[in-house]
Amino acid sequence: MENKTGRIARINLTTGKVENENSTDYYKWLGGRGYGVKVIFNEVKKETDPLSEDSKIVIAAGCFTGTSIPGSSRINIISKNVLNNGISYSSGGGDFAPALKKAGFDALIIEGKAEKPVYLYVSDGRILIKDAAGVWGKTTWDTEDEIRTELKNDKLKIAAIGPAGENLSKVACVIIDKAHAAAWGGCGAVMGSKNLKAVVANDANDYEISMFDSNKFDKECKRYKWILSASVPASNLKRVGTHGTAGAGGLTGKAPTSVRNSLDEYWDPEKNEKVVEKSYKQYEKKRVTCFNCPIACLHSYEMEYNGEIVEGVGMHANSVRGFSSNWDVDDPAAVFKAHTLCNKYGLDVDGTSSTIAWAIECFESGIIDTNDTFGAQLKWGNADEFLKLIEDMAYRRGFGEILSEGVFKASQIIGRNSIENTMQVKGVGINEQSLRTHKAWSLGIAISTRGSGHVSAAPQTEKRGIPSEIGEWLFDCPEAGIPTSYKGKGKLVAWYEIYKAIVDSIGICYFNAGWYEFTLADISYYAEFYNALTGMNMSNEEMWDIGERIVNLEKAINTVYAGFTREDDYLPKRIMEIPVSDGPYKGELMEREKYDEMLEEYYDAHGWDTATGLQKPETLKRLELEEVISFLSN
């Protein structure tokens, strides 16, 4: 039995000190998100401002990252959530995370604040803090290009912030290899607050990922790959990317989507037709993939907007709906331009979409006018104005100064009851679809510990309409595939939440790990891989317990640091009050009483108090989280 330790670097940017640590916690928490959340829980206090020198940010690959498992590409960035003082975690793809491992480290704990802008150069088991004066102020793309030129190595893998992170926009993110966003909780601003422009990984020296039993690992991997290669949903994703999925109206554009700041979920079919995946086919240059991923879900497009050539990669479904139906924009080039601006400036797509959508609704309803917007006519569909606002958010210029705070804080600054127009939960903006129509999906977004977003706990089962036998077999929920049914959905969401915490920690892309191919949403694969990798003998149940522990740590951080209660597990009122106006789900909305029941079932599935949603000591004891009991009671 070999109990491996994680190779961790602790970098203090105030002192310039870099220390290597071996941490048994890394494998104990599976790496990635689990490890990072544990560090934040242990080391960052309630009163610590997420953007202060005392704050910390963890950049952690998963324990399977960089292995032969398909999609083993993910990095997780964990910190306090800039938008609400609770927890934040963000998963990003590309080649950066495997490169970090090959450069010698599983995770970086970054603390302090550099006196001047710097970037970290990770290579051959060492970390250098290098001067970033030359790239400060540059876009993420220019930053990557210039660092590669400076270091004379065009193969470097880079995670960088753009002007939004430097200017501490609360919706700033980290962009990896020009295409992949780790985009939640203002993690780009946390880096910016530390004067940290980028982390650069050089994988040339190839630190081996030591394997206890490589034969067993490879054998398991073959089986996994075979299932993935035979998977119809995975091959559909390969064909159309997330752009062609229900997240962006589906292939036909008829799936429920976010329309005009989620005032509706039905969009004019003629408009929708212009932004569906097939309408972009003529602009596709190639497909792009992440490390060791056979799916290659990312489109690279080249388009023309107002006479300017726009090139970019990685427009996922959330960019499509966020910059089209959510703003009522039906110009495909404008939608793509908005996406590329967010990538270059380092802005989170969901935070940007939801904040500008709120501003448009406020303008249209007369809450704000051109005196507030510095002259901008924020009418639905007025793409030129919205594109200017994206830039202003990144540079905190004009009205962008307020918008850069994110939708919740912006509404507090404006006042005038504009909070009624916010699409946010736990202070984090919502750019989502199917909130009225797909009940478990909606609940999964409402309860997410990082605030909003569907890739925390929202199940994919309803979108795919899985048969009742499969729902019963996999999730003990026969109605898992029926969108409008509330039955068993609380339990289903709790299952997905725990499962995703594991996936984010092991470092596999969710799209490979069961999000599309349900038979791979099976913990036994990952326990087998783990045992082959580490030489330990972890059971499925023990791995599941780790997932539960991660969710419980996050929940406790949110309760104590952010002061969240049951009231923070509800979506904005419009979801319960304004029904879908037309289409196959005409008249559908979330019924309050049934939502309450679903929420209570969700709490119960986690072993939390059904009335308050708070964690129960007996549950925390079962999970051996006694430290959380005292944390909650202090």
Closest CB 316 distance from ligand SF4, rounded Å: 8
Total binding residues toward ligand SF4, as defined by CB under 6 A: 13
Residue 338: phi and psi, rounded to 5, are: -60, -40
Is residue 488 near ligand SF4 by the rule CB under 6 A? no
- Enter the tokens of residue 605: 């599935």
Q: Which of 450, 545, 553, 388 is nearest to 35 (CA)?
A: 553
Q: Which of 53, 91, 38 is nearest to 196 (CA)?
A: 53
The DSSP code for 517 is S
Closest CB 60 distance from ligand SF4, rounded Å: 17
Which element (helix H / strand E) includes 540? Answer: helix 540-557
Closer CB to ligand SF4, 209 or 293, in the complex: 293
Which element (helix H / strand E) includes 299? Answer: strand 298-305
Closer CB to ligand SF4, 41 or 184, in the complex: 184
Closest CB 156 distance from ligand SF4, rounded Å: 19
Q: What does the per-residue mask of binding to ligand SF4 show for 78-117, with x meaning CB under 6 A? A: ---------------x------------------------
Closer CB to ligand SF4, 238 or 450, in the complex: 238
| SS3 of residue 498 by DSSP | helix
Closer CB to ligand SF4, 90 or 373, in the complex: 90
Is the distance from CB of 61 to CB of 95 less than 8 angstroms? Answer: no
Q: In which residue are the tokens 């993939």 written? A: 289
Closer CB to ligand SF4, 238 or 409, in the complex: 238
Residues whose CB falls within 8 Å of the CB of residue 170, separated by 6 or more in sequence, listed in order:
82, 83, 186, 189, 351, 404, 405, 406, 409
Cα 567 to Cα 564: distance, rounded to the nearest angstrom: 8
Closer CB to ligand SF4, 243 or 396, in the complex: 243
Closest CB 510 distance from ligand SF4, rounded Å: 7
Is residue 315 near ligand SF4 by the rule CB under 6 A? no
Is the distance from CB of 519 to CB of 234 less than 8 angstroms? Answer: no
Largest CA distance in the chain: 68
Closer CB to ligand SF4, 72 or 615, in the complex: 72
Cα 20 to Cα 107: distance, rounded to the nearest angstrom: 10
Is residue 511 near ligand SF4 by the rule CB under 6 A? yes
Is the distance from CB of 63 to CB of 30 less than 8 angstroms? Answer: yes
Is residue 400 near ligand SF4 by the rule CB under 6 A? no
Distances in Å between the alpha carbon of 393 and those of 123, 396, 453?
34, 5, 21
Is residue 71 near ligand SF4 by the rule CB under 6 A? yes
Is residue 289 near ligand SF4 by the rule CB under 6 A? yes
Which element (helix H / strand E) includes 78? Answer: strand 75-80
The DSSP code for 616 is P
Cα 390 to Cα 367: distance, rounded to the nearest angstrom: 21
Closest CB 135 distance from ligand SF4, rounded Å: 26
Burial class (CB in 10 A: 0-12, 13-18, 19+), 280: buried
Q: Which stretch binds ligand SF4 (CB under 6 A): 32-40, 96-104, 253-261, 295-303?
A: 295-303
Helices (H), 572-633: 574-577, 592-606, 617-622, 626-633
Q: What does the per-residue mask of binding to ligand SF4 show for 233-272, with x meaning CB under 6 A? A: ----------------------------------------
Is residue 183 near ligand SF4 by the rule CB under 6 A? no
Is residue 295 near ligand SF4 by the rule CB under 6 A? yes
The DSSP code for 31 is B
Is residue 73 near ligand SF4 by the rule CB under 6 A? yes
Q: In which residue are the tokens 């919205």 written? A: 386
Closer CB to ligand SF4, 295 or 403, in the complex: 295
Closer CB to ligand SF4, 86 or 93, in the complex: 93
Closest CB 298 distance from ligand SF4, rounded Å: 5
Q: Judged by CB under 6 A, which of 175, 290, 423, 532 binds ligand SF4? A: 290
Closest CB 157 distance from ligand SF4, rounded Å: 14
Closest CB 39 distance from ligand SF4, rounded Å: 25
Closest CB 233 distance from ligand SF4, rounded Å: 12
Q: Which stretch binds ligand SF4 (CB under 6 A): 194-202, 293-301, 499-507, 583-591?
A: 293-301
Is residue 162 near ligand SF4 by the rule CB under 6 A? no
Strand ranges (E), 132-277: 157-160, 174-176, 180-182, 196-202
Closer CB to ligand SF4, 243 or 555, in the complex: 243
DSSP 144-173: HHHHHHHTT-TT-EEEE--HHHHTT-TTB-
Is residue 296 near ligand SF4 by the rule CB under 6 A? yes
Closer CB to ligand SF4, 109 or 290, in the complex: 290
Is residue 298 near ligand SF4 by the rule CB under 6 A? yes
Closer CB to ligand SF4, 61 or 598, in the complex: 61
Distances in Å between the alpha carbon of 126 and those of 8, 152, 607?
11, 18, 44
- Enter the tokens of residue 564: 């969240």
Q: Judged by CB under 6 A, which of 99, 110, 509, 620 binds ligand SF4? A: 509
Closest CB 94 distance from ligand SF4, rounded Å: 7
Closest CB 247 distance from ligand SF4, rounded Å: 13
Is residue 297 near ligand SF4 by the rule CB under 6 A? yes
Residue 270: phi and psi, rounded to 5, are: -65, -40
First to last CA, the chain: 39
Q: Which residues bind ligand SF4 (CB under 6 A)?
A: 71, 73, 93, 289-290, 293, 295-298, 509, 511-512
